Chain A
């Protein structure tokens, strides 16, 4: 302790001349050291995000971006699993795939669209109830909304086979009130059955992706200040007008997010069509799955998957532009 003090004592006197020295060597050195330190900190900060990004983004480049390249390459290759696939630039695969599966494609868009509209109609009242009318039941209702997620997706989809079974209560009721006659005339069901018809597939798709509609809707509704509703009522707006001119416009981000989150997975799904639908009326997902896993016709599978991706990305881009919600992520 005393030694350090003794050493430090002459300190103030000693550096004085150096700092004031005409060559400014100490000041210059100190200045240079400070600049270097600041620079290295800045450089470190600049490098930091890249260090953080490198593992994750590198992973996605390798396992997400590069596979898309392989898929594109496969779609214009030919060959077989036994004697390898070679790049032959055979664009014919695309027109061949389209001629074979155009109906599957359109059916996918139609089923996914119908399921999305149904999801919106079903989800809105529930999201609205949770956001504005639930009071202390809010958390319980939210848990109930996500509860289906907690049981395996496939097991739950199989449960629809029970619910919609030919001798079940639901189909019995629909037959008794002649709803199946109406849906049969619309081409949605066949005879007095619901299983193995388009209606069953759309019911399954709607069910499976419903939480993806409810949660974004709830998130955007919950942010609305309830006083805006009161203000609208004070200004003599009817409940309908309040909804149309206040609630609905403010919930648009949720509507846009929810429709995308249901439409995208529904369009590529093949589980509902396989488990609940008619084998003659499957979706593009079933076609890709069959081409890929059953007959190992990878080029056709790649071409179909590529077109599906392009169509979905085009729809998403157009839709986001149109709806004006840029910041979805």
Chain B
């Protein structure tokens, strides 16, 4: 009884963890389902059909490819633009600071649908047809703020004396930047880029408002499937994403540990 009282918080915490992981487990389990009807919501019988033929449903693998393409491009642009802003905010004093801060904060402090609808209305008003470009432009826009936040936190936490030391040792400003500043900021930039990639790849609301009929990203595909029938292949993609991401996280943790040991 005393044990229970002492560990009540841990039990409640683990219960929350179960609640937040249960859908992932369902996704994985149901990737091995062979559903009786069009929808993959109730268990019928075990099958590896979806895993051996992941592209067996029309259009799905194309949608994954499109999502990758958009996410990679959006990540590159947003990371460059966001990193520059983050350096300006972390390293310099300037007058328009309040304005810049609110330009970074506001996109995150608004429901996604507001940005989705308003940027759609810009494209509509200037007569730009919805499609690949409009999705990409919109994705870059909402990713910038997240990159700025991640990089700024890292740059503010960096030890400025290291750069001063490099200058004292006659490093040119370019050398200081390339060989001291950039490597130190790299984890923040990488975190921002990973966040941007994940957000863009999985974005639905902004894509829904700015996609054309031929630009079906993976989330758009799933949305359509939820109305006309969900093949288990969707779960295969979901499970594969989870496995790949877990491997990336574990890999980066191992790498971090090794670097720490070296240092």
Contacts and interface: CB of A to CB of B under 8 A. Distances in A.
Contact of A56 (B19, B84, B234, B253): B84
Contacts of A130: 13
Given A265-B111, A298-B124, A161 B81 contact: no
Given A52-B84, A159-B27, A305-B118, A126 B17 contact: yes
Interface stretch (A22-30, A94-102, A186-194, A266-274): A266-274
Contacts of B259: none
Interface in B92-112: 92-94, 96, 100-101, 103-107, 109-112
B84 A126 contact: no
A83 to B, nearest CB: 14
Contacts of A289: 113, 208-209
B237 interface: yes
A270 B223 CA distance: 12
B223 A154 contact: yes
Is chain A's binding surface mostly helix, strand, loop or mixed?
Answer: helix
Contacts of B10: 125, 129, 133
Interface in A262-285: 264-265, 267-271, 275, 285
B172 interface: no
A37 interface: no
B144 A60 contact: yes
Interface stretch (A5-13, A66-74, A172-180, A222-230): A66-74
Interface residues of B, number: 85
Interface in B75-95: 80-82, 84-85, 87-88, 91-94
B148 interface: yes
A167 interface: yes
Number of contact residues on A: which range applies? Answer: 35 or more
Given A49-B92, A144-B21, A125 B13 contact: yes
B253 A139 contact: yes
Nearest to A296: B124
Contacts of B41: 158, 161-162, 165
Given A152-B241, A159-B26, A211-B20, A52 B85 contact: yes
29 contacts: A64-B119, A74-B121, A74-B125, A122-B16, A125-B12, A126-B16, A128-B13, A129-B13, A144-B17, A147-B245, A150-B244, A151-B23, A151-B24, A152-B241, A153-B202, A155-B222, A156-B24, A157-B23, A158-B222, A158-B234, A159-B30, A162-B41, A264-B110, A265-B111, A268-B110, A271-B205, A292-B120, A305-B117, A313-B110
Interface of B: 9-10, 12-17, 19-24, 26-27, 30, 41-42, 80-82, 84-85, 87-88, 91-94, 96, 100-101, 103-107, 109-115, 117-122, 124-125, 137-138, 140-141, 144, 148-149, 198, 202, 204-205, 208-209, 218-219, 222-223, 226, 230, 234-235, 237-239, 241-242, 244-246, 249-250, 253
